[in-house]
């Protein structure tokens, strides 16, 4: 398929700038692949679609405050530093993006905090905006992380044009977030409240957790018309025995296996045995799913409404069927659904 087939014009006013007042009170579009139907519900109605023995797979990654603002030595120019991933814990080496990049060269020092409590030195260029930084910090690792948490802010996507607010620290995080390492929230999971999870539990739904640390690569624009030539960035994923057991039991018993979000879908489809069951996994995945694609593990999916021409939209179209998903997006725009991270949700069954 071609990139241009995934172009969608999303009006600016539909880009959600704030989350719904209550997590489970966003809208829910239910897309039925077999019937080819589209229904409009509330997210808390999701309990009507799942029952005894179904497995819901969640991503328990935790977002860390990855966006820092510092000043360049001598000139004092304000520089945004986006922490991508830790390369070496002991040496305090990090992969980062800097903005504006043209001002930042190897050897430059950056100072963070009103009292310059954190200093970093640029030691390498990785991409046009990418740099490797060494943080010059004397003291235990725990103190270093505490300082980063104090100085960093919630890494809201750029399409949220307002300043970061205190509520974002809690709301740009799922309630089951546990393992720190993501620079973006697995947004499908943001709709789950404790009350809703309890109700699903009472319906007999099994929750299975895996971890995929979302990187910025997920949102990197596709720059080739021929999708077979696009290379995905790698993301770190972990699937443990408990998750494998719950997912395979549901699959064996012909129950639903629901991937809560594109990150879960990528992780599950990255670790499939020859007989189409899930295997434990620990490592990196750069799996790129676009139509046509034969899915092995999940038979239902919860997801948000994604950006035009994004790899996330391509994965959803592969799962829901290209024509039906494109119709669903047209309907979402007409019905004024809220788009992107803080927006509404879609259930594909």
The structure's pTM equals: 0.92
Structure tokens at 267: 């992780």
Residue-level pLDDT at 49: 98
pLDDT for 1 beyond 80: yes
- Give the mean pLDDT of the chain: 95
227 — pLDDT class (breaks 50, 70, 90): very high
Residue-level pLDDT at 310: 95
Q: For residues 302 and 263, what is the distance between their CA atoms, to the nearest angstrom?
A: 11
CA nearest neighbour of 76 among 108, 117, 98, 101: 108
Share of the chain above pLDDT 90, in %: 86
Q: For residues 117 and 293, what is the distance between their CA atoms, to the nearest angstrom?
A: 50
pLDDT for 189 beyond 90: yes
Q: For residues 211 and 75, what is the distance between their CA atoms, to the nearest angstrom?
A: 41
Residue-level pLDDT at 174: 97
pLDDT for 215 beyond 90: no
Specify burial of residue 280 (Cβ count, 10 A radius: 0-12, 13-18, 19+). middle
DSSP-assigned letters across all residues of 72-86: ETTT--EEEEEEEEE
> What's the average model confidence in pLDDT over 137-160?
92
Give the largest CA-CA distance in the chain. Answer: 66
pLDDT for 219 beyond 80: no
| Contact call for residues 289 and 318 (beta carbons, < 8 A) | yes
Residue-level pLDDT at 217: 73
Give per-residue pLDDT as tens, 273-284.
999 999 999 999
220 — pLDDT class (breaks 50, 70, 90): confident
For residue 167, what are the CA distances in angstroms to 18, 112, 159, 173?
10, 23, 18, 10
């Amino acid at each position: 398929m071609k990139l241009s087939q995934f172009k969608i014009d999303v009006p600016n006013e539909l880009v959600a700038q704030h989350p719904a007042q209550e997590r489970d009170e966003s809208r829910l579009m239910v897309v039925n692949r077999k019937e080819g139907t589209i229904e409009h519900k509330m997210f808390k109605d999701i309990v009507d679609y799942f029952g005894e023995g179904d497995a819901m797979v969640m991503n328990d990654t935790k977002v860390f405050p990855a966006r820092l603002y510092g000043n360049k030595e001598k000139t004092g120019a304000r520089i945004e530093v986006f922490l991508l991933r830790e390369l070496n814990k002991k040496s305090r080496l990090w992969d980062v993006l800097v903005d504006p990049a043209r001002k930042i060269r190897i050897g430059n020092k950056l100072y963070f905090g009103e009292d310059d409590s954190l200093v970093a030195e640029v030691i390498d260029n990785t991409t046009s905006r990418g740099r490797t930084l060494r943080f010059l910090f004397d003291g235990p690792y725990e103190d270093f992380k505490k300082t980063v948490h104090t100085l960093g802010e919630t890494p809201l996507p750029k399409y949220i044009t307002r300043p970061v607010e205190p509520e974002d620290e809690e709301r740009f995080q799922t309630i089951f977030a546990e393992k720190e390492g993501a620079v973006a929230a697995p947004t499908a999971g943001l709709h789950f409240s404790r009350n809703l999870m309890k109700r699903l539990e009472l319906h007999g739904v099994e929750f299975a957790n895996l971890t995929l640390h979302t990187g910025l690569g997920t949102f990197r624009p596709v720059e080739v018309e021929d999708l077979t030539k696009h290379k995905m960035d790698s993301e770190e994923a972990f699937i443990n025995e408990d998750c494998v057991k719950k997912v395979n039991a549901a699959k064996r018993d012909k129950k639903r296996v629901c991937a809560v979000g594109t990150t879960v879908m990528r992780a599950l489809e990255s670790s499939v045995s020859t007989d189409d069951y899930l295997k434990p996994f620990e490592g990196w995945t750069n799996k790129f799913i676009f139509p046509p694609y034969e899915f092995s593990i999940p038979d239902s999916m919860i997801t948000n409404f994604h950006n035009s021409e994004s790899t996330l939209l391509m994965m959803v179209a592969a799962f829901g069927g290209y024509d039906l998903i494109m119709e669903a997006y047209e309907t979402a725009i007409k019905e004024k659904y809220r788009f992107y991270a803080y927006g509404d949700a879609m259930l594909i069954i």
